[in-house]
């Protein structure tokens, strides 16, 4: 990883006097934006770095699944509008919430070091999925998790669970669910790691593309912002997430498609796993490949081809 002090001490760096970070208003989104703000302040102590908190449609519509109301883009469009209008210079996202195709004129400037990418089992009464009695109600906000749960645990009742992290935990605590499945990264970032009763292995629930990583978006014409963000990019995380996003992009990944992709960088190689399922979990195709880490998108595209060869196309066609 780059030494941020070396970058900070370069007096000729043409960074702006002020940087505005657009963010959603949820507690987790604010934590993520504040984390980036603090990193930038440490790198550029003479620069004023501030937050612009915005409400997005994805945060406002909580009674309908994302798959039915427009998907991941609902969490980023207002932030992109703020950048387009010059009210903000960059936006901080959970990488798994960033659509696979960015609008013209926008780019990802840094993908930061990954937190735990796995899914977490949270319950007030049970220690693990295997301990749940038949008929137990398990809540999740993700079709990807739902499909894998239905396939592996057909005896459980899996229901949709919307809302920010605190809202979902409150529903569990009110007894509306016997357990819920959340991203471990969000819980750990907010100091709620103690709520995790057990972690799901990638074999139990393969993570979403980009899960656990932060992605910073900016206007592609802002070379000054690109230069500022460069020290925040974490090589191994960036390679892994680029491979994962390539899988999803090649398969038309969205919230309407139960799709998972998870890569691990190991020196000069990448190990990449992926799956496509129908929402009911009755059909799941899986594939795994390893390849050179310097060509992550090519590896992702190859894995998508492997999934198609195993029957992903027929699953995708049924979801149209």
Q: Residues with catalytic annotation?
A: 97
Helices 235-250 and 296-307 cross at an angle (nearest 10°) of: 40
Q: Please, which contacts does 167-173 make with residues 24 or more away whose CB atoms are closer than 8 Å?
A: 167/62, 168/139, 168/141, 169/122, 169/195, 171/139, 172/122, 172/123, 172/124, 172/139, 173/124
Cα 219 to Cα 63: distance, rounded to the nearest angstrom: 32
Structure tokens belonging to residue 105: 């004129």
Q: Return the SS3 of 202.
A: coil
DSSP characters over 47-94: SEEEEEEE--HHHH--SS-HHHHTGGGGGTHHHHHHHHTTS-SEEEEE
């Amino acid at each position: 990883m780059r030494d941020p002090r070396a970058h900070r001490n370069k007096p000729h760096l043409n960074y702006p006097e002020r940087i505005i970070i657009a963010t959603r208003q949820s507690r987790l989104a604010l934590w993520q934006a504040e984390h980036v703000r603090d990193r930038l302040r440490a790198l550029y102590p003479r620069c004023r770095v501030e937050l612009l908190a915005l409400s997005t449609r994805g945060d406002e519509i909580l009674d309908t699944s994302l798959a039915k109301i427009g998907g991941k883009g609902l969490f980023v469009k207002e932030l992109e509008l703020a950048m387009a209008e010059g009210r903000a210079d960059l936006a901080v996202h959970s990488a798994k919430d960033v659509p696979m195709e960015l609008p013209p004129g926008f780019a990802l400037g840094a993908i930061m070091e990954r937190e735990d990418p796995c899914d977490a089992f949270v319950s007030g009464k049970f220690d693990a999925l295997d301990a749940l009695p038949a008929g137990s109600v398990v809540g999740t906000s993700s079709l990807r998790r739902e499909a894998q749960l239905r396939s592996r645990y057909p005896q459980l009742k899996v229901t949709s669970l919307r809302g920010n992290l605190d809202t979902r935990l409150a529903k569990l605590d009110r007894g509306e669910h016997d357990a819920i499945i959340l991203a471990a990264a969000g819980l750990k970032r907010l100091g709620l790691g103690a709520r995790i009763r057990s972690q799901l292995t990638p074999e139990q629930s393969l993570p979403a593309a980009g899960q656990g990583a932060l992605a910073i978006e900016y206007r592609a014409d802002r070379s000054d912002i690109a230069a500022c963000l460069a020290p925040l990019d974490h090589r191994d995380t960036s390679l892994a997430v680029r491979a994962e996003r390539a899988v999803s992009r090649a398969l038309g990944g969205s919230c309407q498609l139960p799709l998972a992709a998870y890569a691990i960088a190991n020196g000069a190689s990448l190990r990449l796993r992926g799956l496509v399922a129908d929402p009911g979990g009755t059909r799941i195709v899986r594939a795994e490949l390893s390849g050179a880490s310097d060509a992550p998108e090519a590896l992702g595209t190859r894995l998508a081809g492997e999934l198609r060869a195993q029957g992903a196309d027929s699953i995708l066609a049924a979801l149209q």
